[in-house]
Structure 1
Amino acid sequence: MLNIRKQLSRLYLSSVISNLTITGAWLAILASRGFSLVEIGISETVFHITSIIFELPSGVMADVFGRKKMLIVSNIMYTIATLIMIASNSLFTVCLSIAFHALTYNFSSGTGDALAYDSMKKARIHSKFERYESNQLIIYRVCTGISTLCAGFALTIGYKLAYATDLIACAAQFIVLSTLTEVNAKEKADEQRLFAKIAECFRESFIFLKEAKKALGLMFCNSFVGALDILLLFFLQAKLPEKGIPKWGLGVALLFMELGGVVGSKLILRLPKVGYKVIFAVTSALVLTGIFAEHSRSFVIMAIGGFIAAVGDDALQVRTNAKLQKMFPSEQRATLTSVESFTFSVIMIVLSPLAGFVFIYW
């Protein structure tokens, strides 16, 4: 029997374990090992290419085989990625590790939300999903901020020991995930019908998107605004030191900007009656404000701009995800959520070089 409180608590705990790591600043770790910016760029490209290839199949597998199983597969992929990174001694092995990190993201993105929504729906409390989504984003922002502050510690102890701590987290994560309760799991398919079920899930998902163009539009808009915010925070890591921020202040500034997401996630819950178009207009304006503030001569104003952009990004994320989950049929929930992640990856690949051009020449 489903215990909704325990189910949601375990999903929250799983998010804490997966996001709280001292190896979050992997770009800095690779740079400290002597890899050039070009090589680091190549590894990041490998991540996005892998994500694009496997995002939709992983969502389909979650709908066909069960969300709990795919979350466990995600944990296994992360364990493999960590072991390869510890043993890595070349760009090829680093890229191989990064590819498995991407698979970790693929098998978990949307799967946890799908399991949470269907669990809440079964318990007849799915109207509170927006609050759940808000809490998950708060966990992500806070843990990411703390991880950023720990970046210096990771560089001090060395990448092998730093990634060894991730193996401990993987073991703890496996225990937590194994206690989850599967919801709406399909009957086990025999080998002859397996591919037929996967193909059927694909077909029904795309039929839904074809008919529900509004859902596709929501995915694109949310992904575009989110990509702008992430790229802004990424480039601020490099631009803040150029504007004179003290070394000790960089981690504090990055944590401050992440906390903007916490404010946005909580603020949107106080505006349940405000229409989506108004929310989208206001949150987009907040992100654009952050982008303009990036070009200030003051690192204080730049950091405040990053905070404001994070407020807008997470507020829109909470409202959009809650709106989409209400529209998705349970049978294709993980697949359709993966479509949004796929859209985000495509937008990131397009915007990243353009953002780099603006960063250098504007």
Structure 2
Amino acid sequence: MSAYRRNIGLNYILSFFLFANLAASTIVVFLQDNGLSVAQIFILQAIGPLVILLSELPTGVFADVSGRKKSIVVACVLFGLASFLTIFSHSFFSFLFVLSLAAFGSTFYSGSGDALMYDSLREERRTRFAKLAFSNNALFRLIGLGSAVILGAFIASINYRLNFALMSVISLIALFVALKFKEPESTARIKAKTVWKETINAITLMLHVRPYVILMLALAVLSNISLVILIYIQFYLAGFGVNLFLFGFVYAALAIMQGVGVKVGSFIETFLKPKYFSILVMILYAASLGLLGISDSLVFFLVNAHLFMFVSGLFGAVFADYQNRFVPSMTRATIGSFSAIVNSFIFVLIIIPVGLASELFGLGAGVLLVALISLSIIPALGLRIDDDIILKSVDDGL
């Protein structure tokens, strides 16, 4: 097996460990037990995206100048440090610091992981398998998250902080995996002395590629609404009196449903044109979110939550593949980071009014507001995705 093909497998393993967030299903309860209010928790959820807004582009440039491997290694180190410091955090401001540090670490990985995987496929002349690779990678992330939340919920029922100690160890394992990557030799690099000029030129160029912009906005809106709903699920489960240990099983089941959605979405897309696939997925997404917003019992809520997570898995790998076809190798990490900035900005736009609505009028009002946002925006984005999505990578001569 070549080193570049091995990169793909290593990235699957890395994704498993980096997304094995033991605290994911209980972080809201953990923060509440430390005396934080609902408003403070939503503020903390918004801090990460704000940090990303400030640091994502410089770290993406770092990856394009210094290499994707170095960037991923830095991410693993910062994740481990943030997890370790969380063990000793008790106040709003201490949580503010560690969550900001974790968000800063995520910016070193966000554009680099996908860029390294896509460039490795390009090195092997296997970019036609990119959609399969992205869907497999998403599945490994969800398996890592699903298994971690079950274990994490059990550990949290004993001691919350032990989760963060174990996550520090997991970050060390991820670091070991990252050090095994081989940087694709043919990947073009931005020269350090002209880095910002070339970065601005690259972003300006991509903003004139209409299909890329539409896909970037669609992914940002869809993924952020899914993230907001995952936050709400913890509030709802606590409100319904669900045992903390059961949080993990609920989150694991949701991750499995999303993973099934990833594979089903990749399969369905092979039979539909991009426009029809996008419209179908986005209508299903908005409808499932609307059902979730009117759930008034635990059973109804759980059924609709699983339906929503299945639908939310349909688009991710497919849209990521579409996006990468438009991005040249030399600036792939930088452009990926720019997309993450847009993603974070949209998250802040969504989370602040939703958090205020939840604080003033209750959780149901917040979910209904998210549903209204999705029903008004998502179908319109789907209608603007063209059928003429490029079928070959831009690096293959298009």
TM-score of the two chains, using structure 2 as the length reference:
0.82
Shift of 1:56: 1.5
Q: Deviations over 1:204-263 (max 9, x none)?
A: 322322331221111001211222222223212222454576666544333222222112
Do the aligned residues in 1 keep the contact of 2:50 with 2:345 (CA within 8 Å)? Answer: no
Aligned to 2:346: 347
The CA distance in 2 between the partners of 1:320 and 1:102, in whole Å, is 23
Residue identity opposite 1:86 in structure 2: I
Aligned to 1:274: 272
Aligned to 1:100: 101
The CA distance in 2 between the partners of 1:37 and 1:231, in whole Å, is 14
The CA distance in 1 between the partners of 2:164 and 2:229, in whole Å, is 27
Aligned to 1:327: 326
Do the aligned residues in 2 keep the contact of 1:11 with 1:112 (CA within 8 Å)? Answer: yes
The CA distance in 1 between the partners of 2:328 and 2:201, in whole Å, is 10
Give me the CA root mean square deviation: 2.4
Aligned to 2:396: none
What aligned pairs does 1:123-202 form with structure 2 within 5 A after superposition? 123-183=124-184, 184=186, 194=192, 196-202=193-199
What aligned pairs does 1:266-305 form with structure 2 within 5 A after superposition? 266-271=263-268, 272-294=270-292, 295-305=294-304
Distance 1:237 1:40, change over 3 A: closer
Bigger drift between 146-155 and 117-126 goes to 146-155
Do the aligned residues in 2 keep the contact of 1:84 with 1:96 (CA within 8 Å)? Answer: no
Distance 1:59 1:216, change over 3 A: same
Distance 1:243 1:174, change over 3 A: closer
Gaps of 5+ in 1: none
The CA distance in 2 between the partners of 1:188 and 1:51, in whole Å, is 22
The CA distance in 2 between the partners of 1:187 and 1:355, in whole Å, is 41
Aligned to 1:220: 217
The CA distance in 2 between the partners of 1:265 and 1:91, in whole Å, is 36
Residue identity opposite 2:289 in structure 1: I
Bigger drift between 115-124 and 135-144 goes to 135-144
Aligned to 1:60: 61
The CA distance in 2 between the partners of 1:229 and 1:22, in whole Å, is 19
Residue identity opposite 2:16 in structure 1: V
The CA distance in 2 between the partners of 1:71 and 1:84, in whole Å, is 20
Q: Deviations over 1:22-79 (max 9, x none)?
A: 2333333222333333433332232121011111211111111100000001111112
Do the aligned residues in 1 keep the contact of 2:143 with 2:255 (CA within 8 Å)? Answer: yes
Do the aligned residues in 1 keep the contact of 2:78 with 2:101 (CA within 8 Å)? Answer: yes
Aligned to 2:250: 253
Bigger drift between 27-36 and 124-133 goes to 27-36
The CA distance in 2 between the partners of 1:273 and 1:56, in whole Å, is 36
The CA distance in 1 between the partners of 2:319 and 2:111, in whole Å, is 13
Distance 1:153 1:72, change over 3 A: same
Do the aligned residues in 1 keep the contact of 2:61 with 2:333 (CA within 8 Å)? Answer: yes
Equivalent pairs, count: 357
Partner SS for 2:87: helix
Gaps of 5+ in 2: 369-398
